[in-house]
Chains A and B, each alone.
Chain A
Amino acid sequence: MAKVTVDGRVVEVPNDANALEACRAAGVDVPHFCYHPRLSIVGQCRMCMVEVEGVPKIQASCTVPVRDGMVIKASTEKALAARNATMEFLLINHPLDCPICDQAGECKLQDNAFAAGLPVSRTSEPRRQFPGYDRTPIGPHVIADMTRCIQCTRCIRFCEEITETGELTFIERGGHTIVWTHEGKALDNDLSACAADVCPVGALTTRDFRFRKRVWWLDKTRSVCDGCEIGCNISIEHRDRIVYRFLPRVAPAVNDFWMCDYGRFRSEELNRQDFLKPEIRVAGGDAERRQTNWGEALDAVKAAIEKDPSKVRVIGSAFLTTEEAWLLAALCKDSLKVGSPEFTVDIGPKRRIRNKVDGWIYGSEAAPNSRGCEAAGLTRTSSLSSSSPAVLYISDASFSEKCKDPAFVAGLRQASVLIVHARTRNALTDAADIVLPVAPLSGKEGTFVNAKGLVQRIDTAIVSPPVVRTDLEVLLNLGARWNAFDTQWTARDVFEKMQASVAGYAGLAWDSDALVGNPPSISPAAAYDVLGLERDPGVEVFSRPSVTAPDRLP
C-alpha cells in the first residue's frame, strides 16, 4: 500500500493504483472520460489533469502511478484551468443535442460540463460533422453517432481487451478521427451492448432503449439476471410498472462491469403479464376456464390435493428463488407428505461473462437458481418421470422451453388435475386446469445461488398488478391452508427460517454486502470510489453526484 496525500487528505491505496484512483479514494472528484477501471490506461482524454508535487508539468492523473509519499494537488488553479481547457476543446465540436440525446442525464460530458465547463462558448467556427456516420446501427444492439463521440476509445478497448473480438477501431486521424467498424462487419459480439455502457457520451447507445425513457425518470432496483446460471448482477431500471432496461451492476467476482446481450435484452420480456387473475376449470377437461378470485382458486387447489395426497406430484423450477423453493419443499414434505418436488433445467446455449478474478466464466443452464433449489430440498432430474398422478402441481409453467411443446405438455396433461403458476401463456398453461398468476423477476424478492455458489439477493422492482402474486405469496397462502405458513412472512423471514437447514446459507445476513452483489469488503458505495463505477444502480433512488462549480468562474 502507498500513502498518498490528495488535497491535504491522506489515503492508502494499493501500490498499483494510479493518481486518479487515489483521488477517488480520497473522495476528491477528478472528472475523467477515457479512464475505466477494467480497461487499459491510455491517458488521452486529458480531462483528469492534476498537479503532482515535484513534477513541473501538469499531469493526467490516470497515467501517473502512485508512490508512497506522493502529494497530489487536484484542485489548484492550474489543475482546474487545465480541465476547463479540455472541456472547452471537447465542447467546440460536440453537438448541442442534449434535448434529443438518450445519454442526457447519465452523460459524463454533460455532468462535467455542468461541473467544470465554461459558461460561454468562445468558438464561432462551424461544428464538425460526420455525414453518414450519425444515427447508424453498427450492430444488432448498438447505434453510433460520431458527431457526439469524444474519441476516448473506451469502446475500442472494450472490444479489444474484454471480448477480444476487435470489431471497433479508430478510423482516420486528428480531428477527423471516428470510431467505427470495418466495412461490412457488425459490432455483434455477445457483450456488444457493454460498448454503449462504457461510452461516456451519447455516441454509442442501445437501439433497444433508444428514445424510450429519460434516464432520470428511471427507478433502479438491484437484481440478478435470470438468463443463465452465472447470475450477473443487474440493475432493473423501471418506471410506472414498466421495465425499460437492465444495466450490469458492478460485481467483481461475477460479472464485473459487464453483462451479455442475451441477458440484458430479456428486460422487455418482464413487461409481459398474460395472466392477471387466477383461472379455474371446475367441471372437468372440456369446459372453459373462468377467472376467479384467489380464495376460490387456492381452495380448489387444496381440495384437489386432499382428494388423494398420495397421488399428488409437484414440479418446481430453477427460476424459483431459494426461499420459494424451500417453501415448496417444506409444504410437500410437512403438509402434503408427498416427498420432495422435482425440477429440471434446460441446458444451453452456453453463456459467458468475464471478470478480473476468474477470467471467463460460463453458464450452460438456462435458469438462475438450480443450486439454490437443490439446497432447499428440490430434487434435480434430467427428465421428468412419466407417472400419471391425480394432481400435478407445477411452479412455474415456464420452467423449460419444452413447456411450449404440445407433445411434452401432453405427457404432463395425463394428470387428472393440472395446476400451474404462470405469468405468460404457453402450451402448458393452455392445458392447465388451475392457473395461478405470478409475477416476473422484477416483482420478486429473495435469493439465487449462482454457478460459483454465491448467494445473491434480488429486490422487488415493481409491485405487481393487484391480483398478481409472487410465487412466494402463493405458496405462503396455500401453505396457510394447512396452517404450515404465516401469510405475513416476507422473503427475508423465510430466508432466516430456512438458513439453518439450507446448505450455503448459514451465517449469511439478509442485508450483508455479500448478498447484494459485491464482495464483503466492497459496499456499493465503496465500489463507486474504488472501481469508478459509472452508473451506480445500487442506489434505489436516483441521485445526482453533487457537483461544485469552481468559484472563480464568472
Chain B
Amino acid sequence: MSGLSPAPPVLLARIGKPNSVSLDSYVADGGYASWKKVLEGVKGGEWTPAKVTDMVKASGLRGRGGAGFPCGMKWTFVPTKEKRGDKPVYLLCNADESEPGTFKDRLLIEKDPHQILEGMMLASFALDVKHAYIYIRGEMVHGAEILDKAVAEAHEKGFLGTDVLGSGVDLTITVHRGAGAYICGEETALIESLEGKRGHPRIKPPFPAVSGAWGCPTVVNNVETLSCVKHIVDRGAEWFKGVGRNEKNTGPKLYCVSGHVEKPGVYEAPTGIPWEELLALAGGVRGGRKLKAVIPGGSSAPMLTAAEIAGVPMDFDGLVAAKSMFGSAGIIVMDETTDIPKAVTNIAKFYAHESCGQCTPCREGTPWLLKMLRRIVNGEGKKSDLDLLLQISNQMGNGMTICVFSDAAIAPVISGITKFRGEFEAYIEKSTKPEFEQKAPTDLTNEIADRKAAGIHS
C-alpha cells in the first residue's frame, strides 16, 4: 500500500539538528507557522476550535500513549460551554513515559520541545483551554528543564500568554514534574498526582473529559499525539490519513526498538509498517542470532513468538489481530539466548513495584506472582505453580480493578507461560526439592525490600 512507502521523517525531522531545542531554530524550520496561521484566522472566522477538532477527527489520529483511543473523539467528549458553565477546560500533556521499552517521548521532549508545545497550543485552541500542563516524569530532570525553558521562550516571544499574537486567545503552559511512579501515566492517576495527591487511578465514569483535574473537563494527551496534532494542522488531515496502513491506523508513528537488536532506537515509520521492515530498520537481531520472542507494545503487551509476529503490521489493529497490543510502541526484541522465565520475572518485578496498592487483586496479586516466579527461577518451583500462576493472573484482570494496570501486569505472565511453558517446566524439573518439602524461600533477595529497609526509594 502506498501509505506505507517510506517518506522523510516528520516527527523526527528536526532531531539531530544543532540547537534543535531553541525557539529560533524551531521557527527557522517553519515552526509555529500553524499556530500563527490559526491565531491570525480567529478574528476573521477562518479558524475556529471546531475546525481544528474536525481536522484531528478526520485525520484518524489515535492516541499514542497506549490505549489508541481516537484523539478527535476524545476531544468531543468535553462538554460544551453551555453545559460546563464557568468551569475551565484543562489540557494535560502526558509526558510520564514510563512503560518499559518506551523512550520516544523522551526523544521529542529533549530534542524538539517546541513541536510538542505547538501541538499543545493547537489542541488548547480547539478545546478552549486557558491553562495547559505538561506532566513529565520525575526521572526526566533535563527534559523538564528543556520544556521549562521552551515554555519561557514561547512566553517571551509571545506565542503564549494573554491575547497571544493579538488574537484574543489566552494560554499558559506549566511544566509539572512527577516524582517516580509508573501509574501516574494512567490518565486519572496523572490527574490525582497533578492535584498533589498519591497517584491512585480514579473510578470511571466520570471520565476526565467530563470531570478531570480539579473537577473540571480535562483532556489528557500523550506527547507524541500532541506533536502529531501540530503536523495535522500543518499539512492537513488528508496527508495524515494518507500515511499508514489503513483508515484506522494512520499517520507517521514512532517505534521504540530495544533489546537484542543491532541498532536500538526510535524509528519513525508509517503506522502499520510490517514487522520485518521495522526489524530491518533497527539492524536486525543482534549478532545475527535467531529471534525468539517480541514484546510489541511496551511490557504490558502480551509477548509474541517469532512465528506469531512474522508479517504482522505493527499497528493498533494488526497487533490486536495477533492477540497482543500496540500499546506505546515499545518493541522489546528477545533473541534465542533469552531466558524467558527470567524475563517474565523481571517484568513481574516491575509491576509488583509499581502497583499503586488501592485495589486488592492488584496490590496482593502482583507480589504473589512475583514471589512465585522468583521461587521458580531460584530453583524451588513446584509442578502446580504454573497452573496456579495462570489462575491467579486470570482473576486479576478484566474489570477486577479500577484501572488496567493489573491487566498489564498479567499479560507477560500469561503469554510467557503459555508460549514458553517448556522453559518454565525445565526450571521446575531442576528444582532441588521434592514436591512435599518444597517450601517457599524465606529470603526472596528482594531488592525492593532492601531499598525500603534503607529508607530510600520504596
Closest partner residue, chain B, to A49 (CB atom): B400
Q: Which of B352, B363, B382, B438 contacts A177 (CB 8 A)?
A: B363
Q: Which of B181, B360, B391, B442 contacts A44 (CB 8 A)?
A: B360
Pairwise interchain contact B355-A88, C-beta atoms closer than 8 A:
no
Pairwise interchain contact A46-B361, C-beta atoms closer than 8 A:
yes
Q: Is B321 an interface residue (CB 8 A)?
A: no
Interface code A493-505, partner B: CB below 8 Å = 1, 0 otherwise? 0000000000000
Q: Is B168 an interface residue (CB 8 A)?
A: no
Pairwise interchain contact A174-B361, C-beta atoms closer than 8 A:
no
Q: Is A59 an interface residue (CB 8 A)?
A: yes
Given known pairs A57-B398, A88-B395, A89-B365, the reply for A46 and B360 (CB within 8 Å) is: yes
Q: Is A280 an interface residue (CB 8 A)?
A: no
Pairwise interchain contact B382-A124, C-beta atoms closer than 8 A:
yes
Interface code A393-434, partner B: CB below 8 Å = 1, 0 otherwise? 000000000000000000000000000000000000000000
Bound-complex Cα distance A151 to B364 (A)? 11
Pairwise interchain contact B355-A174, C-beta atoms closer than 8 A:
yes
Bound-complex Cα distance A537 to B276 (A)? 70
Pairwise interchain contact B388-A151, C-beta atoms closer than 8 A:
no
Q: Which of B353, B356, B399, B440 contacts A125 (CB 8 A)?
A: B440
Bound-complex Cα distance A122 to B389 (A)? 11
Interface-lining segment among A79-87, A291-299, A381-389: A79-87
Q: Which of A57, A86, A122, A170 contacts B360 (CB 8 A)?
A: A86
Closest partner residue, chain A, to B361 (CB atom): A89
Pairwise interchain contact B388-A175, C-beta atoms closer than 8 A:
no
Q: Is A42 an interface residue (CB 8 A)?
A: yes
Task: For residue A293, give the distance in angstroms from its CB to the closest CB of chain B.
Answer: 64
Q: Is B193 an interface residue (CB 8 A)?
A: no
Pairwise interchain contact A124-B440, C-beta atoms closer than 8 A:
yes
Bound-complex Cα distance A59 to B400 (A)? 7
Pairwise interchain contact B360-A92, C-beta atoms closer than 8 A:
no
Q: Is B5 an interface residue (CB 8 A)?
A: no
Pairwise interchain contact B364-A89, C-beta atoms closer than 8 A:
yes
Pairwise interchain contact B395-A125, C-beta atoms closer than 8 A:
no
Bound-complex Cα distance A370 to B200 (A)? 49
Bound-complex Cα distance A185 to B356 (A)? 25
Count how many pairs of residues, one from A and one from B, have CB atoms less than 8 Å apart in the complex.
105
Q: Which of A41, A60, A93, A124 contacts B364 (CB 8 A)?
A: A93
Q: Which of A46, A151, A172 contacts B452 (CB 8 A)?
A: A172
Bound-complex Cα distance A89 to B364 (A)? 6
Closest partner residue, chain A, to B397 (CB atom): A57
Pairwise interchain contact B358-A176, C-beta atoms closer than 8 A:
no
Q: Which of B399, B402, B438, B442 contacts A58 (CB 8 A)?
A: B399
Pairwise interchain contact A177-B364, C-beta atoms closer than 8 A:
no
Pairwise interchain contact A46-B440, C-beta atoms closer than 8 A:
no
Given known pairs A173-B356, A173-B458, A174-B353, the reply for A90 and B364 (CB within 8 Å) is: yes
Bound-complex Cα distance A151 to B358 (A)? 7
Q: Is A327 an interface residue (CB 8 A)?
A: no
Closest partner residue, chain B, to A81 (CB atom): B395
Pairwise interchain contact B360-A174, C-beta atoms closer than 8 A:
no
Pairwise interchain contact A123-B368, C-beta atoms closer than 8 A:
yes
Pairwise interchain contact B203-A63, C-beta atoms closer than 8 A:
yes
Bound-complex Cα distance A57 to B402 (A)? 11
Q: Is A284 an interface residue (CB 8 A)?
A: no
B158: chain A residues at CB < 8 Å are none
Q: Is A45 an interface residue (CB 8 A)?
A: yes
Task: For residue A45, give the distance in angstroms from its CB to the closest CB of chain B.
Answer: 6
Task: For residue B370, give the distance in angstroms from its CB to the closest CB of chain A.
Answer: 9
B37: chain A residues at CB < 8 Å are none
Pairwise interchain contact B361-A85, C-beta atoms closer than 8 A:
yes
Interface code B223-250, partner A: CB below 8 Å = 1, 0 otherwise? 0000000000000000000000000000
A45: chain B residues at CB < 8 Å are 359-360
Q: Which of A90, A125, A151, A153 contacts B375 (CB 8 A)?
A: A125
Given known pairs A124-B439, A125-B375, the reply for A47 and B458 (CB within 8 Å) is: no
Given known pairs A57-B399, A172-B458, the reply for A125 and B368 (CB within 8 Å) is: yes
Q: Which of B357, B395, B439 contacts A175 (CB 8 A)?
A: B357
Task: For residue B67, give the distance in angstroms from its CB to the closest CB of chain A.
Answer: 15
Pairwise interchain contact B452-A173, C-beta atoms closer than 8 A:
no
Given known pairs A170-B198, A176-B452, the reply for A90 and B360 (CB within 8 Å) is: yes
Pairwise interchain contact B360-A89, C-beta atoms closer than 8 A:
yes
Q: Is B149 an interface residue (CB 8 A)?
A: no
A59: chain B residues at CB < 8 Å are 399
B458: chain A residues at CB < 8 Å are 172-173, 176
Closest partner residue, chain A, to B458 (CB atom): A172
Bound-complex Cα distance A151 to B360 (A)? 8
Q: Which of B354, B358, B360, B395 contacts A47 (CB 8 A)?
A: B360
Given known pairs A85-B395, A123-B368, A125-B375, the reply for A174 and B363 (CB within 8 Å) is: yes
Q: Is B366 an interface residue (CB 8 A)?
A: yes
Given known pairs A93-B364, A125-B372, the reply for A42 and B395 (CB within 8 Å) is: no
B57: chain A residues at CB < 8 Å are none
Interface code A62-91, partner B: CB below 8 Å = 1, 0 otherwise? 010000000000000000011001101110
Bound-complex Cα distance A173 to B358 (A)? 8
A177: chain B residues at CB < 8 Å are 357, 363
A122: chain B residues at CB < 8 Å are 388, 391
Pairwise interchain contact B364-A92, C-beta atoms closer than 8 A:
yes
Closest partner residue, chain A, to B355 (CB atom): A174
B358: chain A residues at CB < 8 Å are 42, 44, 151, 153
Pairwise interchain contact B398-A58, C-beta atoms closer than 8 A:
yes
Bound-complex Cα distance A175 to B354 (A)? 10
Task: For residue B439, give the distance in angstroms from its CB to the closest CB of chain A.
Answer: 7
Q: Which of B356, B361, B368 contacts A86 (CB 8 A)?
A: B361
Closest partner residue, chain A, to B391 (CB atom): A122
Pairwise interchain contact B359-A46, C-beta atoms closer than 8 A:
yes
Interface code A131-152, partner B: CB below 8 Å = 1, 0 otherwise? 0000000000000000000110
Q: Is A554 an interface residue (CB 8 A)?
A: no
Q: Is B367 an interface residue (CB 8 A)?
A: yes
Q: Is B20 an interface residue (CB 8 A)?
A: no
Task: For residue B206, give the distance in angstroms from its CB to the closest CB of chain A.
Answer: 10
Q: Is B401 an interface residue (CB 8 A)?
A: yes
Pairwise interchain contact A174-B395, C-beta atoms closer than 8 A:
no
Q: Which of A90, A92, A174 contacts B357 (CB 8 A)?
A: A174
Q: Which of B359, B368, B398, B448 contacts A92 (CB 8 A)?
A: B368
Given known pairs A81-B395, A89-B364, the reply for A173 and B400 (CB within 8 Å) is: no
Pairwise interchain contact B354-A174, C-beta atoms closer than 8 A:
yes
Residue among B200, B364, B396 facing the most chain A CB atoms (10 A cut-off): B364
Closest partner residue, chain B, to A33 (CB atom): B360
Given known pairs A88-B395, A173-B198, the reply for A125 and B371 (CB within 8 Å) is: yes
Pairwise interchain contact A126-B356, C-beta atoms closer than 8 A:
no
Pairwise interchain contact A44-B400, C-beta atoms closer than 8 A:
no
Bound-complex Cα distance A495 to B371 (A)? 66
Interface code B407-442, partner A: CB below 8 Å = 1, 0 otherwise? 000000000000000000000000000000011101
User: Which residues of chain A (246-261) have a CB below 8 Å from chain B?
Assistant: none
Bound-complex Cα distance A49 to B355 (A)? 21
Bound-complex Cα distance A266 to B220 (A)? 54
Pairwise interchain contact B355-A43, C-beta atoms closer than 8 A:
no
B364: chain A residues at CB < 8 Å are 89-90, 92-93, 175
User: Which residues of chain B (173-187) have a CB below 8 Å from chain A?
Assistant: 181
Pairwise interchain contact B400-A175, C-beta atoms closer than 8 A:
no
16 additional contacts (CB under 8 A) given A57-B399, A93-B364, A126-B442:
A41-B203, A43-B402, A58-B399, A85-B400, A123-B368, A124-B382, A124-B439, A151-B360, A172-B357, A173-B356, A173-B357, A173-B458, A175-B366, A175-B367, A176-B458, A177-B363
- Report 13 cross-chain contacts, Cβ distance below 8 Å, ordered by A residue: A41-B203, A42-B358, A43-B203, A85-B396, A89-B361, A124-B440, A151-B358, A151-B363, A170-B357, A172-B357, A174-B354, A174-B366, A175-B364
**Contacts from B to A (Cβ < 8 Å):** 181, 198, 200, 203, 352-361, 363-368, 371-372, 375, 382, 388, 391, 395-396, 398-402, 438-440, 442, 448, 452, 458
Return the 9 tightest CB-CB contacts between A and B, nearest first: A57-B399, A85-B395, A89-B364, A174-B355, A177-B357, A175-B367, A44-B358, A125-B371, A58-B399
